[in-house]
Chains A and B, each alone.
Chain A
Amino acid sequence: MSLYLIPLAPLLGALVPLFSGRSGRSALALSVALFPAWALVYMLIQAQAVLDGETLRFAVDWIPAIGLQLAFRLDGLGLLFCLLILIIGLLVILYARYYLSEQENMGRFYSYLLLFMTAMLGIVLSNNLLQLWLFWELTSISSFLLISFWSHKSDARKGARMALAITGAGGLALLAGLLLIGNMVGDYSLDTVLANGALIKANPAYPVALVLLLLGAFTKSAQFPFHFWLPHAMAAPTPVSAYLHSATMVKAGIFLLARFYPAMSGTDMWFLAVSMTGLITLLYGAFTALFQHDLKGLLAYSTISHLGLITLLLGMNTRLAAVAAVFHIINHATFKASLFMAAGIIDHESGSRDMRKLNGLWKYMPHTAALAMVAASSMAGVPLLNGFLSKEMFFAETLDQSTLGGLSWVIPVLATVGGAFSVAYSLRFIHDVFFNGDPIDLPRTPHEPPRYMKVPVEILVALCLLVGVFPNYVVNSLLNAASAAVLNGRLPEYSLAIWHGFNIPMLMSLAAMAGGLYIYYNRRMLFQFHAQFPQHDAKQIFEGAVQYVAKQCERIIDALENGSLQRYVFLLLLFALMFMAGPLLDLHHSAGSRPQLELNGVVLTGAILLSLSAVATVIWARRRFIALLSLSVTGLIVSIAFAYFSAPDLALTQLSVEIITVILLMLALFFLPQTTLKESSPNRLTRDLSLAALIGGVVGSISYALMTRPLLSISDYYLTHSKTGGGGDNVVNVILVDFRGFDTLGEITVLGIAALGIYKLIAGMRLYMPAGDDSGRPWSQDRHPMILALVSQNLLPLALLVSVYILLRGHNLPGGGFIAGLITSVAIIQQYIAHGVDWIKHRVRINYQALIAGGVLLAALTGAGAWAFDRPFLTSWFDHFHLPWIGDFELASAMLFDLGVYLTVVGAAMLILANLGKLTTSERPAFENGDAPRAPATHHKEEF
């Protein structure tokens, strides 16, 4: 059977308002209602089979990896709930048509409502635990939307958020519980779960799973101490309350208890957790309801109380109690929905829900009053109404308890007390609203609502009466089927009669009636008593708690992310240190077996130079120019070290990079403070020094350990194939442009991107140029010393020649595109230094951006050229040629690649430096005379 159609129908219905355009409100309501109506009809067609004890199923695989199936299952319990959801849903649709005002977006309301309906149907039809949870959470989300429908009201927003938070938390617990249960039985199918109750209860994780499951159920059905969200959800439009908070959402929790009853119940733990929670909730809700002045508040607490009652019944571990629970589910849904609707009508027509103002409405709306009174009587458990029947069964079952041993009598006594309060608040509802004098200061003069607004109430009240008077005819088969599902088919003997004789439950009922009357009569005393207690508004407490948590979170985050880079870097390095140092503790000898080189004077001198200059850089760091000089020395010594240890390419590269870095740093230093004060506290210095020393020590140790151990590397391959495979003698270069040319392609891309990024940074930069150096001396007047200019310009051709030389020889001897590019760049920068930007600007027009792009493009196309020969990217080609007179020479694709590198490097270096230089040019004359104020230098505004 295509059970999926049942939840699908309202889902489609939810989409109707999207397409309804400007059709009338009634048309909209009607077209929306068609979908659940169709589902209802479809369901009724199937109902007989279910009532006969069949279980209908539908399943397709959805996400097997998590065990999620699209699996539906219709049994008696499901049928009962489906009927409640669909019938009351339809009534609410009708009711809402009249309840919502013209200005309100009814389409949106219906969409949310039908989405919610889908979710509820999904829950009650699920045959897969994950799918059940999916719909479960969907009810939280859609109810959030419904409760906050009047989003302009702060109450609505807060109430909705609170409901979402509580039910969301429960939902997460439920997920954990369902996963555990699924794990216990090895399957997420509900069928399997229900068939394996014994297995579950024997599992050591059963208590955990049970608690998690109950957390889900109790939060949803507003059980103490999670009840507090429900009264605040009353900020929702009344149709929502009538639907969600009587028949559906809160009942989802109850449904969950009933659904898992066969699998989870029957243990002492179940009894204690479920029935005690139910009992407390029952009493607390009933007691508190009496003191509510808000009509809907009273109904909300009454709902809490009745949910407690059902929970208590389900907790009692007796089969009859389960039947009573199921019965009360039906009854509560009918009378509570009608009461909410009546309350909504009163609110709608009188403009108030405050029972202190609402008085004597009997005169104004007798029809509504009559309906409400019948429903309220049912709530109070007055005979001939459905509430009486289930309450009677409840009282009977409370007597049948023995788990509390000698204290078992407590339960019936407390149940009776609860019943008394229930009578009292029902009385208050009736008397306080419809009688009790005249209305006080109502915004509107109350009158009867539109005809069709009452129809849903009438239908529900009629049901109350019908069930109350003819229980056997009206609900027996449904109750049987549903109870059978709860009890896994083991239905107890019971009879739904109005009169069971004069027995203890009857006495309890009478006691409750009398007690209720007494309580209501003496309500003023009670109100005074109640008023002595400080009133805790759950919303305020909850909001306060959330605020408090948020504040604490802010404090934690502020304390942790204090915005100090120094801390972040410290932590990074500290953990890096721990990561590195930990394993070294297992290193028994730092020196390995590899023979070491002999120490000599040169190396020692170099080490001294390096150490001194590095330490000097640190010491002078606050006098920046000097630090820059000692940094240069360090760089120079590093280059020499590379030369010494037979890495000429490295020496060349390090040297050129070092020089160009220093030039760059000087360019930047001009705009930065030349000196800084001592800022770090001694503690911080000690801390940083310790960390630095430790990291240095660890890195040095690792380096030493590595160098003194033999290495079997892949490098021999490069040495043997460099000439034959790569066509070059300089193995390092062949690695760069051939074996690992891809790295180099990435590397020049990095360089190019950096240049672009720097250009972005420069564009739109506003800098203040110092008019003199840090001693306050005005700058020298000699902008371009003649000798420097002249010599520089004559050196340029030579430098270019050297670049070409370095570029061309790279493949066979130290050199290559990168170094050549840097030499060219330095030579051009030299011209800028000697002549200034303006002078050059008119003489050279190179588009450095295009140079970068062209360089990378050349390198990339050289790589892609191999595709033409059906070889992988970057496959190199080289050959030897012979020309008469000139002799042998070699051509290699690597040369093109290297040329690309060269162009990129030149383009990048020049894009950076030339533009950085331009920053100051335009404004410079402004303070040429020496003491002008600091003038802003603005580059052109960055735009595309």
Chain B
Amino acid sequence: MMQHLPILPIVIPLLAGVLLLLPPLCHSLPRQRFIAVAVNLALIVTAVMLLQRTHLEGALTYALGDWPSPFGIVLVADRISALLTLLTSLLGLGALLYACAGDDKNGMYFHPLFMFQLMGVNGAFLTGDIFNLFVFFEVLLIASYALLIHGGGKQKTRAAVHYVIINLVGSCLFLFALGTLYGVLGTLNIADMAAKATLLGPDEQPLAKAGGLLLLAVFGLKAALLPFYFWLPRSYSSASAPVAALFAIMTKVGAYSILRIHTTIFGAGAGALAEIATPWLQPLALLTLIIGSIGALASPSLRTLTANLTLVSMGILLTAIALQRADATAAALYYTIHTTLVTGALFLLADMIGRQRGKAEDRFVASRRMQRPVALGVAFIIAAVAATGAPPLSGFVGKVLLLQATEGAVETSLIWPIVLISGLAAIIALSRAGSSLFWRHSEDAPVAEPTPALRIIAVYLLLAASPLLVVFGGPITEFTDAAATQLHDSAALSGMMQQGGS
């Protein structure tokens, strides 16, 4: 089974999702929960094994159907994809546990859809074929559409209309881009595309560039890059909590795709096509960061605030990616782990807080007292400290990594102030949020509905990552460094992919 390791993160959730739709599992929620959690744990184990193998052996390729690359579809599990796969399943576990405390029964098919969502995300991380990437994008999108409306209600419908339409337009653009790239390069394997891109004549280069930039728009849409991010605040703040938490990984798929495509195909080695994204990506990423910070200050509720903090984190992430350097990529990777888990936890936390505050929900107004102020308060402080990038939690390591990566570069004078001031905005917004949520009380009695311990466990499970990321910062940054180096060493990777076979 070990040689099939790279495909397991895709096939396991697929089979699980399908089996959850069939008798005997489809009729029993407890069984569904059990299977879903078990599968998620299995995914974590798989991802850890994958991580270990990639750490020792570099990239693993898996030629589907035993067809040689570039003719068949290959999966490429390099360090980055292994890391992100692990991240996905960790986040998934938190969201899933939270959902098992009751959110999963507010609508049909939660667990199967959850599994399909994991499958889509993992597939997007693992595939080495650009059209297959499109397919997995669609898998994760359609699953996210269905999950977004989970629980029902006007807000969700309203948000879903925007989310779906924007993404459908995005999918069309994706296909235009793919058509253009195939029409120029004549191949779909990403490594092969990279090889062919270097051979293009001046007559074809502009077309390849148009295709590549169009892809940037498509991925930017997923990654919530300005001006494509507009779907995000509303979708994230209206989705049910575990779904919103799971969505925290979705933006990362967009960022990952930019990283993958624009480093492998249009990376430093692409001659005239090298780094075509940077002139657009850099300013847009910084603007995203700015708008996210402004949105954070303007947020009237914790969910909206979290959604805007997601924007901020995407801005930081994409700023790092735009630099197209190994150290910046390493920073981006570390930051991704941190922000994904923390944002996910914040979404869950916002929901729990909202449930305890009666009509005020998670809005920043006075409300009845909470039932579990200590458990939630401590969680909030942890999440807030991590999210603002303050020490001693993981946010600061990520931020320092990024600042160091931009150090000395011409952009320093631009990037540093923006990044730092955005941190201040987050401090102000979160301290305002926390003091309103936890300290401004009306005289009403606390809500009677008990808070299941499982929800709190789920939140703390995700939050635990933040201190652990700092405590084990040494080995983790070592891994992210290695992963980034591997990605930027495109020659070696192309070799791996060309070779085919597993």
Contacting A at CB under 8 A, from B165-212, are: 165-166, 169-170, 173, 176, 179-180, 182-184, 186-188, 192, 203-207, 209-210
The minimal Cβ–Cβ distance linking B202 to chain A, given in whole angstroms, is 8
Which residues of chain A are near B87, meaning CB under 8 Å? Answer: none
Flag if A742 contacts B15 (CB, 8 Å): no
Q: Does A41 contact B (CB under 8 A)?
A: no
Q: Does A535 contact B (CB under 8 A)?
A: no
> Which of B29, B71, B227, B427 contacts A164 (CB under 8 A)?
B427
Which residues of chain A are near B391, meaning CB under 8 Å? Answer: 133-135, 137-138
Q: Does A444 contact B (CB under 8 A)?
A: no
Flag if B73 contacts A168 (CB, 8 Å): no
Interface string of A720-750 (1 = CB under 8 A from B): 0100010000000000001111110111011
Flag if B424 contacts A165 (CB, 8 Å): yes
> Which of A145, A180, A556, A850 contacts B23 (CB under 8 A)?
A850
Which interface residue of B67, B139, B399, B424 has the most chain A CB atoms within 10 A? B67
Which residues of chain A are near B294, meaning CB under 8 Å? Answer: 553, 556-557
Flag if B64 contacts A857 (CB, 8 Å): no
Which residues of chain B are near A160, meaning CB under 8 Å? Answer: 431, 435
Which residues of chain B are near A138, meaning CB under 8 Å? Answer: 391-392
Flag if B216 contacts A872 (CB, 8 Å): no
In whole angstroms, how far apart are the Cα atoms of A326 and B264 in the complex?
A: 57
Q: Does A699 contact B (CB under 8 A)?
A: yes
Q: Does B502 contact A (CB under 8 A)?
A: yes
Also in contact, A764 and B297, with CB within 8 A (given A68-B473, A749-B14, A860-B18): no
The minimal Cβ–Cβ distance linking A703 to chain B, given in whole angstroms, is 8
Flag if A872 contacts B207 (CB, 8 Å): no
Which residues of chain B are near A739, meaning CB under 8 Å? Answer: 65, 67, 71-72
The minimal Cβ–Cβ distance linking B477 to chain A, given in whole angstroms, is 3
Q: Does B92 contact A (CB under 8 A)?
A: no
In whole angstroms, how far apart are the Cα atoms of A546 and B23 in the complex?
A: 57
In whole angstroms, how far apart are the Cα atoms of A584 and B212 in the complex?
A: 12
Also in contact, A580 and B108, with CB within 8 A (given A757-B145, A760-B149): no
Flag if B109 contacts A183 (CB, 8 Å): no
Also in contact, A757 and B146, with CB within 8 A (given A565-B166, A706-B180, A743-B135): yes
Q: Does A176 contact B (CB under 8 A)?
A: yes
In whole angstroms, how far apart are the Cα atoms of A285 and B349 in the complex?
A: 43
Interface string of A549-562 (1 = CB under 8 A from B): 11001101110110
In whole angstroms, how far apart are the Cα atoms of A684 and B427 in the complex?
A: 40
The minimal Cβ–Cβ distance linking A376 to chain B, given in whole angstroms, is 34
Flag if B420 contacts A550 (CB, 8 Å): no
Also in contact, A569 and B166, with CB within 8 A (given A179-B400, A576-B217, A853-B21): yes
Flag if B231 contacts A568 (CB, 8 Å): yes
Flag if A62 contacts B403 (CB, 8 Å): no
In whole angstroms, how far apart are the Cα atoms of A169 and B132 in the complex?
A: 46
Flag if A65 contacts B330 (CB, 8 Å): yes
Which residues of chain B are near A713, meaning CB under 8 Å? Answer: 182, 186-187
Q: Does B481 contact A (CB under 8 A)?
A: yes
> Which of B21, B131, B142 contacts A850 (CB under 8 A)?
B21
Q: Does B66 contact A (CB under 8 A)?
A: yes
In whole angstroms, how far apart are the Cα atoms of A42 and B480 in the complex?
A: 39
Q: Does A502 contact B (CB under 8 A)?
A: no
Interface string of B54-68 (1 = CB under 8 A from A): 000000001111110
The minimal Cβ–Cβ distance linking A156 to chain B, given in whole angstroms, is 9
In whole angstroms, how far apart are the Cα atoms of A760 and B203 in the complex?
A: 50
Q: Does A318 contact B (CB under 8 A)?
A: no
Q: Does A31 contact B (CB under 8 A)?
A: no
Interface string of A570-612 (1 = CB under 8 A from B): 0111011001111111111100100000000000000000000
Count of B residues near A, CB < 8 Å? 128
Flag if B297 contacts A550 (CB, 8 Å): yes
> Which of A161, A183, A563, A747 contacts B135 (CB under 8 A)?
A747
Contacting A at CB under 8 A, from B44-98, are: 62-67, 70-73
Interface string of A838-882 (1 = CB under 8 A from B): 000000000001101110110010011011000111111000000
Q: Does A883 contact B (CB under 8 A)?
A: no
Also in contact, A179 and B407, with CB within 8 A (given A575-B217, A746-B136, A857-B15): yes
> Which of A558, A565, A699, A852 contacts B176 (CB under 8 A)?
A699
> Which of B23, B71, B107, B435 contacts A151 (CB under 8 A)?
B435
Q: Does A173 contact B (CB under 8 A)?
A: yes
Flag if B217 contacts A561 (CB, 8 Å): no
The minimal Cβ–Cβ distance linking B469 to chain A, given in whole angstroms, is 10
In whole angstroms, how far apart are the Cα atoms of A676 and B295 in the complex?
A: 35
Q: Does A943 contact B (CB under 8 A)?
A: yes
The minimal Cβ–Cβ distance linking A326 to chain B, given in whole angstroms, is 28
Which residues of chain B are near A943, meaning CB under 8 Å? Answer: 105, 107-108
Among the 9-residue stretches B112-120, B252-260, B352-360, the one with 4 or more Cβ atoms under 8 Å from chain A is: B112-120
Which residues of chain A are near B65, meaning CB under 8 Å? Answer: 738-739, 741-742, 872-876
The minimal Cβ–Cβ distance linking A311 to chain B, given in whole angstroms, is 23
The minimal Cβ–Cβ distance linking B218 to chain A, given in whole angstroms, is 8
Also in contact, A151 and B298, with CB within 8 A (given A165-B431, A179-B403): no
> Which of A135, A588, A749, A853 contacts B139 (CB under 8 A)?
A749
> Which of A67, A705, A740 contacts B207 (CB under 8 A)?
A705
The minimal Cβ–Cβ distance linking B128 to chain A, given in whole angstroms, is 11
Which residues of chain B are near A585, meaning CB under 8 Å? Answer: 206
Q: Does A256 contact B (CB under 8 A)?
A: no
In whole angstroms, how far apart are the Cα atoms of A754 and B502 in the complex?
A: 33
> Which of A749, A750, A872, A944 contacts B4 (CB under 8 A)?
A872
Interface string of B430-448 (1 = CB under 8 A from A): 0110010011110000000
What residue in chain B is nearest A757 (Cβ atoms)? B146
> Which of B150, B179, B397, B423 contacts A66 (CB under 8 A)?
B397
The minimal Cβ–Cβ distance linking A166 to chain B, given in whole angstroms, is 10
Q: Does A61 contact B (CB under 8 A)?
A: yes
The minimal Cβ–Cβ distance linking B235 to chain A, given in whole angstroms, is 12
In whole angstroms, how far apart are the Cα atoms of A179 and B420 in the complex?
A: 12
Flag if B427 contacts A709 (CB, 8 Å): no
Which residues of chain B are near A689, meaning CB under 8 Å? Answer: none
Flag if A750 contacts B139 (CB, 8 Å): yes
Which residues of chain B are near A558, meaning CB under 8 Å? Answer: 298
The minimal Cβ–Cβ distance linking B3 to chain A, given in whole angstroms, is 8
Flag if A572 contacts B170 (CB, 8 Å): yes
The minimal Cβ–Cβ distance linking B215 to chain A, given in whole angstroms, is 9
What residue in chain B is nearest A140 (Cβ atoms)? B390
Flag if B439 contacts A152 (CB, 8 Å): yes
The minimal Cβ–Cβ distance linking A412 to chain B, given in whole angstroms, is 38
Flag if A571 contacts B135 (CB, 8 Å): no
Flag if A757 contacts B70 (CB, 8 Å): no
In whole angstroms, how far apart are the Cα atoms of A160 and B438 in the complex?
A: 14
Flag if B23 contacts A743 (CB, 8 Å): no
Contacting B at CB under 8 A, from A747-794, are: 747, 749-750, 753-754, 756-757, 759-761, 763-764
What residue in chain B is nearest A133 (Cβ atoms)? B391
In whole angstroms, how far apart are the Cα atoms of A172 and B428 in the complex?
A: 13
Q: Does B34 contact A (CB under 8 A)?
A: no
Provide a sorted-by-A list of 15 A–B residue pairs whose CB atoms are within 8 angstroms: A63-B477, A65-B330, A66-B477, A161-B432, A161-B435, A165-B431, A179-B404, A563-B234, A586-B209, A702-B207, A738-B67, A750-B142, A849-B21, A872-B66, A944-B110
* Known A145-B381, A873-B62; further 15 A-B contacts with Cβ < 8 A: A64-B474, A66-B401, A134-B392, A134-B396, A168-B424, A183-B408, A563-B234, A569-B169, A575-B227, A580-B176, A583-B210, A757-B113, A856-B18, A864-B11, A944-B105
> Across chains A and B, which 3 residue pairs bring their CB atoms closest together, nearest first?
A757-B146, A713-B186, A65-B477
User: A residues near B, CB below 8 A?
Assistant: 61-68, 130, 133-135, 137-138, 140-141, 144-145, 148, 151-152, 157, 160-161, 164-165, 168-169, 171-173, 175-176, 179-180, 183, 546, 549-550, 553-554, 556-558, 560-561, 563, 565, 567-569, 571-573, 575-576, 579-589, 592, 699, 702-703, 705-707, 709, 711-715, 717-718, 721, 725, 738-743, 745-747, 749-750, 753-754, 756-757, 759-761, 763-764, 849-850, 852-854, 856-857, 860, 863-864, 866-867, 871-876, 942-944
